[in-house]
Amino acid sequence: MNNVVLIGRLVRDPELRFIAGTGKAVCNFTLAVDKNLARDKKKEFEEKGQSTADFIRIIVWGKQAENCANFLAKGRLVAINGSISTSSYKTQSGETRYSTDIIASNVEFLEWGDRGSDQNKYKDDDFTAIDDDEEITF
């Protein structure tokens, strides 16, 4: 079984391109997923300059790729369901390089709107209080 579920934030804006010949959309982005570290261990990592997150490359295909490019941005929180894909290639110098990506089958947007806006913050009601000390009779 090859199934991956991740929740994290986009490291940079997604990149959308279309495959020549087929016109199929493909979107790439990197997801920062926090390592599940205890508070003291996380502090230790930070003091040593070590990363407290894993940076995972995500690949999305089709209409969902277009939606990601249109509605996601750097810093946005998303949930990914997909599978691991590994590959290798040779560089011009003859070195073999390996890559591990997640092919997303589902991308769920966990935040909407502008990150800088206050649309999700608590707002006080705009009601005006009325001074009324009279008893109500029934």
Domain ranges in the chain are: 4-109
Q: Say if residues 98 and 16 touch (Cβ distance below 8 Å).
A: no
Looking at residue 120, its pLDDT comes to: 46
Which of helix, strand or coil describes residue 65?
helix
What residues are paired with 61 via a beta bridge? Answer: 26
pLDDT at residue 20 is higher than 90: yes
pLDDT at residue 119 is higher than 50: no
Class of domain 4-109: mainly beta
More confident residue, 90 or 123: 90
Average pLDDT, the chain: 87
Looking at residue 116, its pLDDT comes to: 47
Q: Which residues of 73-92 are buried (b: 16+ CB within 10 A; e: fewer)?
A: eeebebebebeeeeeeeeee
**Side-chain-side CA neighbours of residue 43 (13 Å):** 3
In the chain, % of residues over pLDDT 70: 81
pTM: 0.76
